Structure 1
Amino acid sequence: MGRNTRLNFSSVTTLEKYIGHLKEAYLVYVLQRYSHKAAERSGAPKKIYLVDNGYVAAAAVQLSPGRGRLMENLVFGELLKAGFAPNRDLFYYKTRNGREVDFALRKGLKISSLVQVSYGFDVPGVKEREIKALLEAGGELACDKLTVVTWDYEETLDARGKEICFIPLWKWLVENRA
């Protein structure tokens, strides 16, 4: 499950037990990393999403999730509403070089869309980081639909022959462009 020092759990087993209880109560979803191999999916670190951003905000005093995390959690919830099932056709992805893409959406046997969520486009290097991650993942997964959901930045960019759509969160929510 990764780092557990911020929550002060004594062991990974205890943390996994608590997360299991939260899953059973339908308070959290656990998202696996995409791989063609089921063993790699189950063995890789997982990402946790809460069913409601209210829970994220309530815990924010201690955990300080930030707006980017709230946005990512909101996009995850909207993908669920759009019919994507976690660990069946909704995953996250990590490239061979360790770059992470927030959401990899599968239709049939193929990843049909890659979605990054990024709040801080005013921070130097963020746009370039998101572009590199999407291009790398798109190449590895043979996926051409590349989207970055932003707070308020909008642009369609051609990078290395692939189109990347930067879309504000409000517009993505209205158009539901998963």
Structure 2
Amino acid sequence: MVNPVKVYAADTGLADAFAMSRNPDIGRLLENCIYMDLCRRGCQVSYIVTSSGFEVDFLAEHIDSRQQAIQVAADISNAETLERETRALVEAGRTVKGAELLLLNLSEESSITRDGFTIEVLPAWKWLLDYKA
């Protein structure tokens, strides 16, 4: 299902206090953190739904006009998760010509080439410390 509007909390502690669940959703918190940092960097932030129906978490247009298509997934150790996330990024690469493709997660770092596109896989902490900011 594709969300028509994505909502992020400026204060995740407050949002968590009013959440129905007592189990934190690490993936959602990580995505929220990345969103807040993109805003801090002065990016125009939106998300992408490709013609094939794949959703990419963020399309960030930086002040210098660089574009990044960013997927956020806490754990990509599962082959199905990695496949889903990279497939969406490749579709985004076809949709947004010249966009840098990033897959941010909690611990993995590599570079994946798929269908002629290069996807940088980075731990979120490294990206947050201004990897190619």
Bigger Cα Rg:
1
2:47 pairs with 1:47: no
What's the counterpart of residue 75 of structure 2? Answer: 120
What's the counterpart of residue 88 of structure 2? Answer: 133
Following TM superposition, by how much is the alpha carbon of 1:51 offset from its aligned partner in structure 2, in angstroms?
0.6
8 Å CA contact 1:103–1:115 kept in 2: the answer is: yes
2:118 pairs with 1:163: yes
2:46 pairs with 1:91: yes
TM-score calculated relative to the size of structure 2: 0.86
Note the 1:22-101 alignment, pairs <5 A.
45-62=4-21, 66-84=25-43, 89-101=44-56
Q: What is the rounded CA distance, in whole Å, between the counterparts of 1:57 and 1:99 in structure 2?
A: 28
Of structures 1 and 2, the one scoring higher in RCO (CA 8 A, sep 6+) is 2
Structure 1: which 5+ residue stretches go unaligned?
3-32, 34-43
SS in 2 for 1:113: strand
Distance 1:177 1:61, change over 3 A: farther
Following TM superposition, by how much is the alpha carbon of 1:47 offset from its aligned partner in structure 2, in angstroms?
0.4
Please tell me the root mean square deviation across aligned C-alpha atoms, in Å.
2.5
Following TM superposition, by how much is the alpha carbon of 1:134 offset from its aligned partner in structure 2, in angstroms?
0.5
Letter in 1 for 2:36: G
Q: Which structure has the highest helix share of the two? A: 1
TM-score calculated relative to the size of structure 1: 0.66
**What are the superposed Cα offsets for residues 150-173 of structure 1, whole Å, 9 maximum, x if unpaired?**
110110111122110000011111
8 Å CA contact 1:56–1:65 kept in 2: the answer is: no
Distance 1:158 1:175, change over 3 A: same
Structure 2: which 5+ residue stretches go unaligned?
none
